[in-house]
Structure 1
Amino acid sequence: MSAENPTPSGESDLRSALTAQKKKRRTAAIAVGAVAVVGLVAGAVAIVANLGSADPAASAAEASTAPEELSVTIATAEDSVFQDTIAEVAAEKGLDVEWLNVDDWVLPNTELVAGTVDANAFQHILYLSAFNTENDADITPVFSTVITQWGIFSATLDDVDALQDGARIGIPDDPSNGGRALNILESAGLIELSEDAGDFPTVDDIDTNDRNLQFVPLPARDIPLQFEDPSLSAVIVGTSYFDPSQGIGADDALFLDDSLDEKNLPYVNVVATRANDVDNPAWEILEEAYADPRVAEALEEEYFGNTVLVDVDIDDLRAKLADLEAAAAQG
């Protein structure tokens, strides 16, 4: 995670982007206003001609029933066709979504807390729990979005049953991703973890390892580069970590984890906002947009099935977030 990089004026990149976009909207509003003046002049005679027949009560009733225009600004850490599709579908439903994309995993949260944006959509609740705990923040999920699928991959084997005694397996060296890898190995029937292993087990929590598998810790981002290392029989990593040029996807996994398994709740991505804005009606419309088939199609085309949409009960997500925050607070 990189620190905030101030611009020469002292503003963050995200604040500068927001200011620039607001200026564009003001310029557009001026242009629309100029066109409107012409329309008013052209229509003046018609208005005068119809003044006598206008029904003030009907006009007032029509104005009172006009839908309120909704708009939200959402920070994220990437720019994608997937997001564009969400915005298009949301617009059809009466919600204007403005994405502010920054190449940073800190700003979307800090600027949400500061009130610069209305929400963000870039993180799973594990990362959110760490941010809330470290910054005494109250950012809260409003609905689930996607999860990156993880699996066991091998350059030489076609089945997990082909793993030999003493096989070396590359797993992430950080606690959260390493724990996810061990959970996958257990789900595949290759090891058994102790009942009190918790959300993020370590190799010390392995109770049964009949094949004497050896675990090689590697930075998660480097694991795809080690995929063809002859000293490794297999690796465990997220499907989206592979470079597209490698041509490796979910279909190539020896074993693919269940995205909706309760053990994967910490890795579910969410749209999140400040706790005092969770009842904003915009979130219901946005959630409907995410559920649109066109959005699922755009996600599939962009990520080749490596990242999938998930619909997790919001109460379950918030309860898991609270558990993770409590665990983080205890150190």
Structure 2
Amino acid sequence: MSEHTGPEPSELRASIASGKRKRRNLLIGGVAVVAVAAIAVVVSVVVGGQNGAADAATGSGAPAERLSVKIAVSEDTQFQDAVKEVAAEKGLDVEWVNVKDWVLPNTELVAGTVDANAFQHILYLSAFNAENDADLTPVFSTVITQWGIFSKTLTDVKDLADGARIAIPDDPSNGGRALNILAAAGLIEIAADAGNFPTVEDVTANDKNLQFVPLPATSIPQQFDDPSLAAVVVGTSYFDPSQGITKDDALFLDDSLSEKNLPYVNVIATREEDKDNPAWKILEDTYADPRVAEALDDEFAGNSILVKVPVKDLRDKLAELQAEAE
């Protein structure tokens, strides 16, 4: 299978820069946004002729049927209010449902309980598809989150002691990402043939005898103060705002816009047979709205950024990663 890596880093950066200029020029209305700790959505779509006429444009100016969307999230946040408000203007009614889980969004989607989700990057999705013989597919890209190495007590990765314990995510995709970041920081070496899913067994050099402590990714920020851990590897946006930890506090910060990080672009995913549902276009337009982008900027301060990757590139990369996972 040929490799499709999506846009070059320069294209992603240009797209983001253009989006920021657009937000400065086009931002209108007042959407009060304060806190969001994670973006994890499961979308259940109901095309409702009984829901009333929408003001969404149809090209002819005639009212259209509203679409109703039920979205499960990992927790309730005000960022979701921005999405809900803008989507409503576009003819899409959004209801948020808190599931607090990283497994149910996909299993519920496969079971048909919901119609889409938006909690994961394509590498995680590829692992799920391979393990469960599923056919979930992306319909558009949303954000990418910057990752780094953080420590409560240290100011430089060079200060890590021999035998230091480092928390990394316990799922294959994010755990592999954490190991790659440790390798990029010069702390370990990974076998050249480890692929996109390296494990601790693929570590070929570990001069500091670092001990890897696998934990659920979403719980790692809560372990940041654990005195038994010298450092943690996690997404910068995973920290609760009350912790006051930003990308500037990282001992080492990964370049989220590099070509190698395409597998970590988050997506809205659905079942193959539902990929052409018209609701996805409205939702994609909602994510692209400058008010929603501003809400994301306000919360994550650049730690998570909206990216637009052609859906064909997303699906090609998913197929490549899924073949490797299988």
Equivalence map 1:165-184=2 (5 Å): 166=162, 168-172=164-168, 174=170, 175-184=172-181
Corresponding pairs, count: 277
Give the aligned CA root-mean-square deviation in angstroms: 3.7
2:323 is aligned, of 304, 326, 329, to 326
Equivalence map 1:67-106=2 (5 Å): 68-69=64-65, 71-78=67-74, 79-92=76-89, 94-103=90-99, 104-106=101-103
Which residue is 1:292 aligned to? 289
Partners of 1:307 and 1:314 lie apart in 2 by 20
Letter of the structure 2 residue corresponding to residue 197 of structure 1: A
Equivalence map 1:27-46=2 (5 Å): none
Q: How has the CA–CA distance of structure 1 residues 68 and 164 changed in structure 2, closer, same or farther, with 3 Å as cutoff?
A: closer
Equivalence map 1:192-211=2 (5 Å): 192-209=189-206, 211=207
Q: How has the CA–CA distance of structure 1 residues 163 and 284 changed in structure 2, closer, same or farther, with 3 Å as cutoff?
A: same
Q: What are the superposed Cα offsets for residues 85-136 of structure 1, whole Å, 9 maximum, x if unpaired?
A: 12322343x3314234141445544554455544322233234334434444
What is the percentage of aligned positions where both structures have the same residue? 62
Q: How has the CA–CA distance of structure 1 residues 75 and 110 changed in structure 2, closer, same or farther, with 3 Å as cutoff?
A: farther
1:313 aligns with 2:310: yes
Deviation, 1:165, is: 6.1
Deviation, 1:298, is: 1.5
Q: What are the superposed Cα offsets for residues 157-192 of structure 1, whole Å, 9 maximum, x if unpaired?
A: 3233x3256261413262333221111122223333
Deviation, 1:222, is: 5.0
Equivalence map 1:10-49=2 (5 Å): none
1:227 aligns with 2:224: yes
Secondary structure of 2:233's aligned partner: strand
Q: How has the CA–CA distance of structure 1 residues 68 and 113 changed in structure 2, closer, same or farther, with 3 Å as cutoff?
A: farther
Equivalence map 1:136-285=2 (5 Å): 136-160=133-157, 162-163=158-159, 166=162, 168-172=164-168, 174=170, 175-209=172-206, 211-220=207-216, 221=218, 223-230=220-227, 232-285=229-282
Deviation, 1:263, is: 3.9
Partners of 1:202 and 1:112 lie apart in 2 by 28
Tell me if structure 1 keeps the 8 A contact 2:169–2:234.
no
1:301 is aligned, of 281, 298, 303, to 298
Tell me if structure 2 keeps the 8 A contact 1:81–1:302.
no
Q: How has the CA–CA distance of structure 1 residues 71 and 204 changed in structure 2, closer, same or farther, with 3 Å as cutoff?
A: same
Partners of 1:131 and 1:207 lie apart in 2 by 27
Tell me if structure 2 keeps the 8 A contact 1:249–1:305.
no
- 5+ long unaligned stretches in structure 2: 1-41, 54-58
Tell me if structure 1 keeps the 8 A contact 2:92–2:279.
no
Secondary structure of 1:73's aligned partner: strand
Higher relative contact order (CA 8 A, sep 6+): 2
Q: How has the CA–CA distance of structure 1 residues 189 and 72 changed in structure 2, closer, same or farther, with 3 Å as cutoff?
A: farther
Partners of 1:189 and 1:272 lie apart in 2 by 35
Tell me if structure 1 keeps the 8 A contact 2:150–2:231.
yes
Partners of 2:223 and 2:80 lie apart in 1 by 31
Partners of 1:65 and 1:243 lie apart in 2 by 44
Q: How has the CA–CA distance of structure 1 residues 231 and 76 changed in structure 2, closer, same or farther, with 3 Å as cutoff?
A: closer
Q: How has the CA–CA distance of structure 1 residues 297 and 167 changed in structure 2, closer, same or farther, with 3 Å as cutoff?
A: farther
Partners of 1:216 and 1:122 lie apart in 2 by 25
Which residue is 1:4 aligned to? none
Tell me if structure 2 keeps the 8 A contact 1:74–1:119.
no
Letter of the structure 1 residue corresponding to residue 210 of structure 2: Q
Letter of the structure 1 residue corresponding to residue 267 of structure 2: V
Q: How has the CA–CA distance of structure 1 residues 236 and 117 changed in structure 2, closer, same or farther, with 3 Å as cutoff?
A: closer
Q: How has the CA–CA distance of structure 1 residues 84 and 194 changed in structure 2, closer, same or farther, with 3 Å as cutoff?
A: same
Partners of 2:65 and 2:45 lie apart in 1 by 20
